[in-house]
Amino acid sequence: MATLTLENVKKSFGKTDVIHGVDLSVNDGEFIVIVGPSGCGKSTLLRMVAGLETVSGGNIEIDGKTVNDLEPMDRDIAMVFQNYALYPHMSVRENMAYGLKVAKVPKPERDEKVAAAAQRLQLTDYLDRKPRELSGGQRQRVAMGRAIVREPAIFLFDEPLSNLDAKLRVQMRLEIKQLQSSLGVTSLYVTHDQVEAMTMADRMIVMNKGLAEQIGTPLEVYENPASLFAAQFIGSPAMNVLKGDVNNQTLSLENGASMPFTSKHQGPVHVGIRPEHIFPADDGILSLASSYAEPLGATTLLHGSLEGSNALLTVNLPGIAVGAGSPGQPHAKKFNFDAAHVHLFDLETGLNCT
Amino acid sequence: MSTQSHSGMVEKRGTSLWLTHALMIAGVLVVFFPIWLAFVASTVTQQEIVQPPMPLLPGGEFINNYTKALTSGVNVPVMTMLINSLIMALGIAIGKIIISLLSAFAIVYFKFPGRTFFFWLIFLTLMLPVEVRIVPTYEVIAGFGLLNSYSGLIFPLIASATATFLFRQFFMTIPDELTEAARLDGARPMRFFIDIVLPMSRTNIAALFVILFIYGWNQYLWPLLITTDPEMNTIVMGIKQMFPSGDDVADWPVIMATSILAMIPPVFVVVSMQKLFIRGLVDSEK
């Protein structure tokens, strides 16, 4: 149980700055997901909190105590690694108990804690096996078990699900989230998968090129993205971005269409419209040329180019919206959207200026 | 784990199968024949060896010759030489493993000034065999008064660039995440070394032990130089010392019995550690 505070945390490797100053305040028991593309510095940030990387600037506080110069073992944290990092020569039991053994916890207490954690993670039958005799999901659970037996103040997760297959990932995602909320331990979770970020986070940090683009609840980020990057990174399929211009209560798009629109902003902008906010309409102002449909069952994705421009457009329609006789060919050609769902982004800064 | 059989990899049947076996058997016979001759010579009397043609089948003097070799020998009982050799070979093998494990651990896991320099320094000594530095080494050992002692036999041969290099290569394949996990678990460096690195290296250690034991057992030049007291002779050089000088008559059956006895411990080590040895060479546990 602890709070975690980052104040203007920076990291550079030699002359290369990889993190340019991140501020974050994590409440007790909160589940924070750091999400971003590879190379954005999200893992480095996590490793700095873990104490595996030195801090080049700023301050990291756990429970109000600065930990910048503390060894990982003195920070009261536990970490789950991407490749699990289980000790290959130790049984599941020994793996889970190792941290306690080093901390000189008496054996009966150690056994008790391991047994409790194993039961919680359904590992009781596997305690005497070696990691190589376990499946990927089970190894993942052992790694979690190793973290929870130590009852740390903070859990750190470094892309823990990226080595699992898609189905198992969905299941483990739920398990991790349930485990975390039942234990109530403050957690920092790094992922490049925006679905994990949306489903697991209490709040998420969208990182890009060493900067936190936006910090907020998943729905805040989804409904009100602070920047063009956050808008395109969060949400699947990604948000459509068209070139546009706002002038005197009118928004004109690059295909020549225009619609009434109220905004403080005047002049050229990026216009973001999520695929699921576009709907078929006979008098629609967007018409798709050479479109292709991907029926997913619950929804149908239409990909095509916007007539009157060379922009690409993706539309997400509910249900099966393809012609019965010709799969791949959508019913509709013309589409419209609601002005309330339009996001505007500054051409230069990429910041939301709706 | 490579437990699955490789029999299906190359299909062999009919004549090619017979041919490969015939060649293999021929090869084994060629290699084995001198050893067989030595064994035969160790079971007959001196007369029978000297008379042509030399016998090809064992005689009835087995127990006599071997008892004579073990208890009295020529200069010193073979038993004493076997024990000397065993102490030297074990000392060299175990010492080399401990030193090279520690130096490889330092080179891989610690950042200190001149790390690369020291590594290359160690690596360079690979190019200097014992024979090249034998005179200065003798001078040093003599200066310390270690002639005719186990320490003198073992210490000059104990540092090993080869083993250090092999352990370094193995340590570098241990994932960084494992090191980090151990750090988070609170293990300090030596704790990490003992609890994680050592157990993970055990197949490599076994493989190296076999190689180094045989290396130590087969030392010839160095023991020949620094042991003048027959009580300190090792068996490999001791066989040479059994050869007569001047007009004495060589006691061939006893010499041959000694040769056979000298072969037994290395064979025993190889056979008993064969499984671990091969596992250490082909795969690393990860």
| Strand A77-80 with A154-158, pairing | parallel
pLDDT bracket for residue A158 (50, 70, 90) = very high
* H or E stretch at A294: strand A286-295
Contacts of B8 (CB under 8 A, 6+ apart): none
- Give yes or no: residues A87 and A159 share one domain: yes
Per the structure, the complete domain to which residue A316 belongs is given by: 241-346
pLDDT at A331: 63
pLDDT at B2: 43
Chain B residues within an 8 Å CB radius of A51: 183
User: CB B184 to CB A83 under 8 A?
Assistant: no
Give percent of chain B above pLDDT 90. Answer: 33
Residue length of chain B: 286
> Comparing A290 with A163, which gets the higher pLDDT?
A163
* H or E stretch at A278: strand A278-280
Mind telling me how many Å the CA of A76 is from chain B's nearest CA?
Answer: 9
Distances (CA, A) of B143 to A86, B92, B146, B152: 51, 21, 8, 11
Q: Maximum distance among all alpha carbons in chain A?
A: 75
With respect to residue A175, please indicate whether it lies within any of the assigned structural domains: yes
Contacts of B132 (CB under 8 A, 6+ apart): none
Going B121 to B123 to B124 to B128, the CA torsion angle's sign is: positive
pLDDT at A265: 83
Shortest CA distance from B175: residue in chain A: A85
Chain B residues within an 8 Å CB radius of A86: 181
- Give yes or no: residues A218 and A326 share one domain: no
Amino acid at B163: A
Residue B146 CA to residue A327 CA, distance in Å, equals 91
pLDDT score of B3 more than 50: no
Contacts of B228 (CB under 8 A, 6+ apart): B147, B148
pLDDT score of A333 more than 80: no
Mind telling me how many Å the CA of A99 is from chain B's nearest CA?
Answer: 4
pLDDT at B285: 46
Residue of B180, B202, B286 with shortest CB distance to A52: B180
ipTM: 0.83
- Give yes or no: residues A182 and A255 share one domain: no
Residues of B with CB under 8 A from a CB of A: 175, 177-178, 180-187, 191, 195-196, 199-200, 202, 285-286
pLDDT score of A325 more than 50: no
User: CB A99 to CB B185 under 8 A?
Assistant: yes
Nearest to B96 by CA among B45, B130, B136: B130
In this complex, how many residue pairs, one in chain A and one in chain B, have their CB atoms less than 8 Å apart? Answer: 62
Chain B residues within an 8 Å CB radius of A105: none
Residue A94 CA to residue A111 CA, distance in Å, equals 10
Residue of B175, B187, B285 with shortest CB distance to A85: B175
- The 3-state DSSP class for residue B237 equals helix
**Per-residue pLDDT reduced to its tens digit, A10-36:** 999 888 899 999 999 999 999 999 999
Q: What is the mean pLDDT of chain A?
A: 89
Find residue A76's DSSP bridge partners: none
Chain B residues within an 8 Å CB radius of A142: none
- Give yes or no: residues A85 and A108 share one domain: yes
With respect to residue A353, please indicate whether it lies within any of the assigned structural domains: no
pLDDT bracket for residue B280 (50, 70, 90) = low
Chain A residues within an 8 Å CB radius of B195: 87, 98
- Give yes or no: residues A187 and A246 share one domain: no
DSSP, residue by residue, A238-273: PPEEEEEEEETTEEEETTS-EEE---S--EEEEEEE
DSSP, residue by residue, A151-200: --SEEEEESTTTTS-HHHHHHHHHHHHHHHHHHT-EEEEEES-HHHHHHH
Question: Which residue, of A206, A233, A260, is where some domain finishes?
Answer: A233
For residue B214, the tally of other CB atoms under 10 A from its CB is 16
Task: Kindly state the tokens that stand for A122.
Answer: 């359904």
Q: Report, as an integer, the average pLDDT of A110-139.
A: 91
Question: Which residue, of A233, A261, A285, is where some domain finishes?
Answer: A233
> Which residue in the block uniquely carries the two structure tokens 């059956």?
B253
What is the end-to-end Cα distance of chain B in Å, rounded? Answer: 10
Chain B residues within an 8 Å CB radius of A99: 184-186
Q: Report, as an integer, the average pLDDT of A309-330.
A: 73
Give percent of chain A above pLDDT 70. Answer: 96
Task: Give alpha helix (H) positions in chain B.
Answer: 15-41, 46-50, 62-71, 78-109, 115-124, 134-143, 150-154, 161-173, 176-184, 189-192, 198-200, 202-217, 221-226, 235-242, 252-272, 274-282
Please state which of the ranges A52-56, A320-324, B42-46 shows the lowest mean pLDDT.
Answer: A320-324
- What is the number of domains present in chain A? 2
User: CB A85 to CB B180 under 8 A?
Assistant: yes
Residues of A with CB under 8 A from a CB of B: 50-52, 71-73, 77-79, 81-90, 98-99, 102-103, 146, 150
pTM over 0.90? The answer is: no
Q: Report, as an integer, the average pLDDT of B13-27.
A: 88
Chain B residues within an 8 Å CB radius of A52: 180, 183-184
Contact A204, A219 (CB under 8 A): no
pLDDT score of A90 more than 80: yes
Residue B97 CA to residue B209 CA, distance in Å, equals 7
Please state which of the ranges A78-87, A201-210, A253-262 shows the lowest mean pLDDT.
Answer: A253-262
pLDDT score of A179 more than 50: yes
Mind telling me how many Å the CA of B168 is from chain A's nearest CA?
Answer: 19
Give CA B200 to chain center in angstroms.
Answer: 23
- Give yes or no: residues A193 and A256 share one domain: no
- Give yes or no: residues A227 and A247 share one domain: no
Residue of A81, A90, A150 with shortest CB distance to B177: A81
Which domains does chain B show, CATH number per domain? 15-65 (no CATH), 78-282 (1.10.3720.10)
Question: Which residue, of A233, A261, A281, is where some domain finishes?
Answer: A233
> Which residue in the block uniquely carries the two structure tokens 């320099």?
B117
pLDDT score of B74 more than 80: no
- Give yes or no: residues A68 and A214 share one domain: yes
pLDDT score of B254 more than 90: no
- Give yes or no: residues A219 and A280 share one domain: no
Please state which of the ranges A192-201, A226-235, B67-76 shows the lowest mean pLDDT.
Answer: B67-76
User: CB A87 to CB B181 under 8 A?
Assistant: yes
- Give yes or no: residues A224 and A257 share one domain: no
User: CB A77 to CB B183 under 8 A?
Assistant: no
Phi, psi for residue A120 in degrees, rounded to 5: -60, -35
Residue B224 CA to residue B245 CA, distance in Å, equals 16
Q: Report, as an integer, the average pLDDT of A279-302.
A: 84
Residue of B184, B195, B196 with shortest CB distance to A50: B184
Shortest CA distance from A85: residue in chain B: B178
With respect to residue A352, please indicate whether it lies within any of the assigned structural domains: no
